Structure 1
Amino acid sequence: MKSPQALGLALIAALALSACQDKAAAPEDIRPVRYIVAGGQAEIGGDSYAGEIRARNETQLAFRVAGKVAAKLVNNGERVKKGQPLARLDPSDYQLDLAAKQAQLAAAESDLAQQQLNLKRYRELLAKQFISQAQVDAQQNGVNAAQAKLKQARAALDASRNQTGYATLAADADGVVSQVQAEPGLVVAAGQPVAKLSQDGPREVAIQVPENALDAVRRAGGFRVTLWKGGAPLEGKLRELSADADPATRTYPARIALSGDSRSLQLGMTAAVALPARASGELKLPLTAILDLQGKHYVWTVDDKTLRVSRKPVEVASIDSDGASIASGARAGDKIVTAGVHLLREGQRVKLLGQ
């Protein structure tokens, strides 16, 4: 029969063995992670900006004279021809002024005729020595003054005719009227815009560029333009980039000219303008992939065979809103963890969730 001490030792050994077996049977902690392939298309694609289709030439139309709108002759969206009337002002005042200028011209013509007749008589009297040369010269000055007044009256009449013609607002070119604010009864000032004409011709995409993307937009050799309605992508080039930011949005208006025949595009269509993809040699990673420890930067790479992670130090060249540019430490083709980098440990096995 065994002693109590022997039984106690046997019991302790059995418990220790059981604990070891339980610890060995514990399942390995496999953490699911998201990842990207460094240097893939997703990392080097260009930025994209929302825009709308606009005419290259847009004209704000306004009356050249002030007055009260008497008639609106077109509506928004109507196609017009060059010279077609769009709106008219009440011409009453201008017609009265025109009549006054016509009367002034008639008076000037009559006065000149009288002065010329008097000059003829004065010369006849001078030939008979009934008057002096000084009187003839004075009459000649009267004729000259009458001629000047006649020119003045004719110029005033031409100006009045122009003013009367300005009471009708006409289209400067063929196109589409995109805005009309000349409602009957509205009193407008000279030069106050009352309509916008989108002229026929090439179409462009109007976009707003943030200040941190100005250099990239200027350097871009071309743009890829896709329409929300669908269809094949279009190619475009930067035609205009404003030097001043919009005071409301603090972005810079830009125009992207479309290649090919773009006249069939409808004004106001929604479009997306994408910068060209970055060169494949540039390695850019999302900010969520960068692990910052004590001022140094690391990334977690995944081994294709063992699906275990390894922490690698990297040198970050620059950081912007699009991600971090890597100068060294990571290579194109590496599988880089992009989420939960602070929760991993060296050699931990992971499950890839996809990009």
Structure 2
Amino acid sequence: MRYLPFCSLLMLLLVGCQEPASESPAQADARLVRMAPLTADAATTLSLTGVLRARYETPQAFEVGGQIATRHVDAGQRVTQGEVLFTLDPSDLEESLAAARAELAAAEASLEVAEAELSRAERLLARDYFSQQAFERAELGVRESATRRDAAAARLAQARNALEDATLRAEADGILIEVSGEPGQVVGVGQAVATLAQAGPREVEVHFPARVRPPEAGELLAGERRLPLSRREVAGAVDPASRTWRARYRLEAPLDEYRLGDVVQTRFTLEEAPPQARFRVPIAALDERGEGPRLWRIVEGEAQPLPVTLHRMTREHAWVSGEGLETGQTVIGLGTHLLTPGMAVRALGEEGSE
């Protein structure tokens, strides 16, 4: 009996040192997963860079062909209407003008002879010394000579204009944003030798991704200022090389601190709201195994897939939409490629609460 107190004390110590009840087999086999919250995509704006352009950018070209004799301007130079830009070698044009003058003089002399013959035919016809047929032939000769005289006069005017066109003048005030013609270069009719950005309204040229239709309005970010933009035109098709829409926007306020060709920051509010809410998730939460994009969530301790629609991706995030998605809802954010429907899983951080 003297050992009874000692045995009781020993049993109490053993009971106190026992480990807590072990987890159930299902809990022990559950895979720990990291969760990620769904973040509503509230961004309805698109920020892009644009280039400041003139409303009218006119190629400057000669209306006659020839060899450039002189060049009077350089790129970036401001010019006024009528200022001389280039001249052509006038030698051939002067020869053409001289030939046209000679042709006109010959036609006028021929007309004088025809008129004199007609006057003589009239006097002879009155005395019955001339037949009616011969008289009519004389009249036709006068009309033919007069027509030749008029044609020669028109060719002379053309030659005179061509000589004047050998001097290329600026058609408006503005800045030459490009000058390509050089003395000695032979140019054809209509071949551009410079590009004139006319003074006046300024525009911003922006290239939008193919998936985004350029909106009707936007704003230019100039430091602390926000200048309104209004769409003037959109290209008729997506550029096949860059896969972008080219759009031109009118600048509704002056922008003196920028020059033509400067890159500017623009911001646009997307016109078409998404038909359903879009959510941003970490890129690792998106699972794609040939069955379409999907997310995974925990339902009663098991991993269950949730089909979604993928809208766009970056290196770190994906934007998705789908039925059953709500702001603040959590989905499995890592290792989704290892999950199978019905797999036992536990959210990381919940193991301590069991």
* Cα distance, 1:127 vs structure 2: 2.1
Q: Deviations over 1:31-89 (max 9, x none)?
A: 9x997872365xx2433322211112111222122111111121111222223221111
Q: Deviations over 1:174-233 (max 9, x none)?
A: 21110011111111122211111111222111122232223xx2xx34223224xx3412
Q: Which residue matches 1:160?
A: 159
Matches within 5 A, 1:229-240: 230-240=223-233
- The alpha-carbon distance between structure 1 residues 161 and 263, as it changes in their structure 2 partners (threshold 3 A), is farther
Letter in 1 for 2:80: K
Matches within 5 A, 1:45-64: 45-64=44-63
- The alpha-carbon distance between structure 1 residues 54 and 240, as it changes in their structure 2 partners (threshold 3 A), is same
User: How many Å separate the matches in 1 of 2:112 and 2:172?
Assistant: 45
Is structure 2 residue 256 aligned with structure 1 residue 257?
no
Letter in 1 for 2:101: Q
* Cα distance, 1:269 vs structure 2: 1.2
Judge which range, 314-323 or 197-206, deviates more: 314-323
Q: Which residue matches 2:194?
A: 195
User: How many Å separate the matches in 1 of 2:17 and 2:182?
Assistant: 96
Coordinate RMSD, CA, aligned = 4.0
Letter in 2 for 1:156: R
User: How many Å separate the matches in 2 of 1:139 and 1:328?
Assistant: 98
Q: Deviations over 1:319-347 (max 9, x none)?
A: 22463233444434x2868975759x744
Unpaired stretches in structure 1, ≥5 consecutive residues? 1-5, 21-30, 301-309, 351-355
- The alpha-carbon distance between structure 1 residues 148 and 210, as it changes in their structure 2 partners (threshold 3 A), is same
Identical pairs, percent: 31
Letter in 2 for 1:39: A
Q: Deviations over 1:18-43 (max 9, x none)?
A: 998xxxxxxxxxx9x997872365xx
Normalization by structure 2: what TM-score?
Answer: 0.74
Q: Which residue matches 2:348?
A: 348
Q: Deviations over 1:260-306 (max 9, x none)?
A: 34577420111233331686983331452634398641369xxxxxx
Q: Which residue matches 2:277?
A: 282
Is structure 2 residue 89 aligned with structure 1 residue 83?
no
Kept in 1: contact 2:230–2:249 (CA 8 A):
yes
- The alpha-carbon distance between structure 1 residues 222 and 81, as it changes in their structure 2 partners (threshold 3 A), is same
- The alpha-carbon distance between structure 1 residues 87 and 286, as it changes in their structure 2 partners (threshold 3 A), is farther
Q: Which residue matches 1:140?
A: 139
User: How many Å separate the matches in 1 of 2:216 and 2:86?
Assistant: 44
Normalization by structure 1: what TM-score?
Answer: 0.74
Kept in 1: contact 2:203–2:248 (CA 8 A):
yes
Unpaired stretches in structure 2, ≥5 consecutive residues? 1-5, 21-31, 339-344
Q: Which residue matches 2:296?
A: 298
Kept in 2: contact 1:223–1:273 (CA 8 A):
yes
Kept in 2: contact 1:290–1:299 (CA 8 A):
no
Among 220, 230, 233, the alignment partner of 1:225 is: 220
